Amino acid sequence: MLNDQELQSLKNRFGIIGNDNSLNYALSVASQVANTDLTVFIQGESGVGKEIFSQIIHSQSARRHNPFIAINCGAIPEGTIDSELFGHEKGSFTSASESRKGYFETVNGGTIFLDEIGEMPIGTQARLLRVLEAGEYIRVGSSKVQKTDVRVIAATNKDLLQLVQLGRFREDLYYRLSTVPIRVASLRERKDDIPILFRKFCVDFATKYKSQPVQLTPDAKQILMNYRWPGNIRELKNIAEQISVLAPHQEISGDELSYFLPHQPVEKLPALSNSPSGSAHADFASERDILYKLFFDMKKDVNDLKKMFFEIVQNPSVRQNYTETMDANDQQLMPFSNEPNPALPGSKSILISSNQANDKKLEIIPVEESLNLADHEKEYIVKALKKHKGKRRDAASELGISERTLYRKIKEYGIDE
């Protein structure tokens, strides 16, 4: 671990402000691992400054005199990311008028920072895994294996383990990347650092705009510390600039500060009890991930229910015991019906007869319905492509998604156009 003097020197060199214990620990880990060639995985919300940590690691490593490049995986189209990273041969695709080197070739001997690694396509993930494990890659359109000596630092603002469970990230790549994990705390977890950062930004902007730096009243400082800061340091810097330019006078009250802060909607989504921050945002990258989890839990419950009914129908002793229990409540379980339920086409159902008031009535209760989102998604994509005779642009417009996303889904589900 770094001592206080070494930590402060490191902060001064890279313009890092704050004294929170989690920040100091992350900086110490980054400094200690810098002299190795281990792969580093940086995790933190958007705007916390993950790229600064990659620069710290590179600048203190033996590779510091070699190239460093930062790549946002989410900003490169899926169809070209393999070419960008690994290069391509002339004629390997339509616009490949000449051969081109990829980043893993041009940065040989240096460091590559792969930001938003969770956005990387599955196919590219397999290529990256080979680079990490064997230091080998193949250009697009080539069969020649090439060697590279590049250190990889990856970062994401998503929960990669959850993406692994959803089949959107390779499990082997996840464990290969997270050799040394570094978690960068969000700004709301560093409440005491917020006023210090705000004051520094205000002084910088006062110098830039040739004005006096604004000051906060005690109630304004408390509001500043209690705000959630979903955009973290990036958002705090933007607010400081707005106030520096638009504030009516030098001292800002709580009411005046509230005018500059975005309205915070009331959280209505459930938060897991073991969440360190006590909010759903600490466990899920987006509301879509929450819905995925709810659907998968619902599917598990339905499968358990189906399993129980099949056991009752197929096992006479279990069926007899269950029937006797149901008879006590004037109900009797009837055999499984193979007739389709008109309310749910393609589903099976069970028949339950009621003996109440000596009037037997048959009630059809559906028990099987596919809740697999991937199955429905694939079905809709196939229908859209058939409807528009294979025209991807029209099909994507019909589905309400981008053409790039449709292309990725076609490859992911192996849809034959």
**Residue 103 near residue 69, CB atoms below 8 Å:** yes
In terms of domains, do 138 and 159 share one?
yes
pLDDT band at 284 (very low <50, low <70, confident <90, very high): very low
Residue 168 placed within a domain: yes
Q: How confident is the model at residue 311 (pLDDT cuts 50, 70, 90)?
A: low
Position 268 in a domain: no
Mean pLDDT for 137-141 is 94
Q: pLDDT at position 19, please?
A: 92
User: How many domains are contained in the chain?
Assistant: 4
Global pTM reads 0.63
Q: Does the residue 294 lie in any domain?
A: yes
Domain check: are 177 and 197 in the same one?
Answer: no
Instruction: Work out the angle at residue 147's Cα, subtended by the Cα atoms of residues 180 and 167, and round it to the nearest 5 degrees.
Output: 50
pLDDT, tens digit (0-9, with 9 covering 90-100), for 344-380: 444 444 444 444 444 444 444 454 555 566 667 888 8
| Exposed/middle/buried for residue 141 (C-beta within 10 Å: 0-12, 13-18, 19+) | middle
Instruction: Please write the tens of the pLDDT for every residue from 3-26.
Output: 889 999 999 999 999 999 999 999
Within its chain, how far is the Cα of 393 from the centroid? 27
Provide the pLDDT for residue 287.
58
- Are 228 and 166 within one domain? no
In contact, 382 and 415? CB cutoff 8 Å: yes
Distance CA 168, CA 413 (A): 12
Return the pLDDT at 319: 55
Clarify whether residues 166 and 42 are in a common domain. yes
Q: Which residue has the tokens 């464990």?
A: 175
Host domain of residue 406: 373-413
Pairing verdict, β 151-156 and 180-183? unpaired
Q: Comparing 38-52, 83-97, 336-350, which segment has the lowest mean pLDDT?
A: 336-350
What value does the mean pLDDT take over residues 389-405?
82
Contact 280, 271 (CB under 8 A): yes
> Per residue in 301-330, is it b (16+ CB within 10 Å) or e — as a string?
eeeeeeeebeebbeeeeeeeebeeeeeeee
For residue 352, give both structure tokens. 């339950």
Whether 299 and 320 map to the same domain: the answer is yes
**Residue 291: is its pLDDT beyond 60?**
yes
What's the CA gap between 45 and 183, in Å, rounded? 9
Residue 377: predicted pLDDT: 80
pLDDT in tens, 380-394: 888 888 888 888 888
Whether the CB-CB separation of 197 and 241 falls below 8 Å is answered with no
Pairwise pLDDT comparison (357 vs 168), residue with the higher score? 168
Average of per-residue pLDDT across 269-281: 44
CATH number at residue 252: 1.10.8.60
Residues 177 and 204 in one domain: no
| The pLDDT of residue 47 is above 50 | yes
Tell whether the model's pLDDT for residue 272 goes beyond 70.
Answer: no
> What pairs with residue 112 in β-bridges?
69, 152
CATH number, residue 397: 1.10.10
Residue 23 lies in a domain: yes
Q: Do residues 253 and 219 make contact, with C-beta atoms less than 8 angstroms apart?
A: yes
Task: Calculate what percentage of the chain has a pLDDT beyond 90.
Answer: 57
Q: pLDDT tens across 179-220, in order? A: 999 999 999 999 999 999 999 999 999 999 999 999 999 999
**Which band of pLDDT confidence, cut at 50, 70 and 90, is reported for residue 172?**
very high
pLDDT score recorded for residue 281: 43
Same domain, 162 and 204: no
pLDDT tier, 290 (very low <50, low <70, confident <90, very high otherwise):
low
94 plus 196 within the same structural domain: no
Q: What is the mean pLDDT of the chain?
A: 82
Backbone φ and ψ for 70, nearest 5 degrees, come out as: -110, 130
* In-domain check, residue 57: yes
Domain membership of residue 274 (yes or no) is no
User: Could you give the 3-state DSSP secondary structure of residue 364?
Assistant: strand
Convert 96-162 into a string of H (helix), E (strand) and C (coil).
CCCCECCHHHHCCCCEEEEECHHHCCHHHHHHHHHHHHHCEEECECCCCEEECCCEEEEEECCCHHH
What pLDDT is recorded for position 191?
Answer: 93
Instruction: Read off the CATH number of the domain in which 150 is found.
Output: 3.40.50.300
List, for residues 69-124, the tens digit of each pLDDT value.
999 999 999 889 999 999 999 988 888 889 999 999 999 999 999 999 999 999 99
CA 410/CA 398 separation, integer angstroms = 15
Sequence-ordered alpha helix ranges (H) in 156-217? 160-165, 171-177, 193-209
Residues 210 and 102 in one domain: no
